[in-house]
């Protein structure tokens, strides 16, 4: 990279213009008041100019160093950081409800990334038993921006793609509303690193933007949801897509 020369070695000075007596007849050179005012202004200028010159020169030098070293002059936002969540998909009967699943890597059945600063919402046994919610994290600044995972036992393979979304909404009232008001619904298929089949859905609704990933493993159906209001989606789209794509089950399709 070519070094950018800086013009910060030359002294910087300020010029303060004073009106002469011809322009302002009210004050003449013989006026004591005019003489004192000019003397005070000159002395103030002499004290102020070197300090300002040094400050400006220092600022200019810092900018030059940043540019010549290839660093941005303005502070650049750091890329979002994530932590890995390990979910066990424990049944309601075996679930303590104290958020302890986050550290149980050995028994994890699925993983996904959680943005730095997001908080875990503890899921109750009742909620787990009724709609299968296993874990949930949210943005504490905007609590409707969140991700969560549900699972249902007794599913060895995925149903046809067109029916999966409607089946998921049967136990999720919010999802029903998003689907009902959707302006567009996109769906696709992909294979994970182990060959496992995933269905991906993207729902654009005035209520929220939703990304959903569904798969089957261990005789269970797992559904990972990422939801955000439209204004949050517009700002955090890249981060939310990363969270969506980070979800995967542990082991092969028939693990366990």
What CATH number did the domain enclosing 192 receive?
3.40.1000.10
Domain range for 216 is 82-92+107-249
Predicted pLDDT at 106: 84
User: Looking at the DSSP assignment, which residues form a beta bridge with residue 120?
Assistant: 137
pTM of the model: 0.67
64 within some domain: no
**Going by C-beta distance under 8 Å and a sequence separation of 6 or more, which residues neighbour residue 111?**
84, 85, 86, 87, 246, 247, 248, 250
Q: Is position 6 within any domain?
A: no
Instruction: Give the chain's domain count.
Output: 1
Q: What is the pLDDT of residue 83?
A: 96
Asked if residue 226 belongs to a domain, the reply is yes
153, 176, 124: which is closest to 223 by C-alpha?
A: 153
The predicted structure's pLDDT at residue 254: 59
How far is Cα 102 from Cα 233, in angstroms, rounded to an integer?
A: 26
Question: For residue 238, how many other CB atoms are within 10 A of its CB?
Answer: 9
Which helix (H) or strand (E) segment is 148 a member of?
strand 142-153
CA torsion through residues 133, 221, 103, 137, sign: negative
SS3 86: strand
Give a yes or no: residue 215 inside a domain.
yes
Query: Residue 124 falls within a domain, yes or no?
Result: yes
Does residue 77 lie in a domain region?
no
Q: Which residue, chain included where needed, has tokens 């509303």?
A: 177
Decide if 87 contacts 250 (C-beta within 8 A): no
- Residue 63 counted as domain residue: no
Q: Which two tokens mark 96?
A: 């303590």
In a domain, 26, yes or no: no
pLDDT score recorded for residue 157: 93
Q: Which residue has the tokens 């399709």?
A: 253
| C-alpha angle 146-193-233 in degrees, rounded to nearest 5 | 25
pLDDT of the chain, 256 residues: tens digit per residue:
444 443 444 444 434 334 444 444 444 444 455 444 454 545 554 554 555 456 555 655 554 444 444 544 434 456 779 999 999 998 766 665 444 444 578 889 999 999 999 999 999 888 888 889 999 999 999 999 999 999 999 999 999 998 999 999 988 889 999 999 999 999 999 998 888 999 999 999 999 999 999 999 999 999 999 999 999 999 999 999 999 999 999 976 655 5
pLDDT at 171: 85
Task: Give the pair of three-digit tokens for residue 227.
Answer: 């939801």
């Amino acid at each position: 990279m070519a070094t950018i020369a800086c013009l910060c070695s030359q002294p910087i000075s300020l010029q303060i213009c004073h009106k002469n007596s011809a322009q302002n007849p009210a004050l003449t050179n013989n006026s004591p008041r005019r003489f004192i005012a000019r003397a005070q202004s000159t002395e103030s200028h002499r004290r102020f100019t070197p300090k300002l010159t040094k400050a400006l020169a220092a600022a200019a030098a810092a900018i030059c160093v940043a540019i010549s070293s290839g660093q941005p002059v303005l502070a650049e936002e750091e890329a979002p950081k994530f932590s890995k969540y390990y979910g066990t998909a424990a049944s309601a009967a075996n679930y303590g409800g104290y958020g302890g699943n986050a550290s149980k890597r050995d028994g994890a059945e699925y993983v996904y990334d959680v943005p730095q600063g997001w908080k875990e919402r503890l899921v109750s046994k009742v909620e787990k038993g009724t709609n299968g919610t296993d874990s949930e994290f949210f943005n504490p600044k905007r609590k409707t921006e969140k991700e969560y995972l549900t699972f249902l036992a007794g599913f060895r393979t995925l149903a046809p793609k067109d029916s999966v979304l409607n089946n998921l909404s049967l136990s999720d009232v919010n999802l029903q509303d998003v689907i009902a008001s959707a302006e567009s619904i996109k769906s696709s298929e992909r294979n994970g690193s182990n060959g496992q089949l995933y269905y991906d859905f993207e729902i654009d609704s005035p209520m929220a933007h939703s990304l959903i990933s569904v798969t089957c493993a261990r005789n269970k159906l797992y559904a990972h949801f990422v939801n955000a209001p439209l204004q949050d989606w517009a700002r955090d789209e890249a981060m939310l897509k990363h969270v969506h794509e980070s979800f995967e089950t542990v082991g092969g399709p028939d693990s366990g």
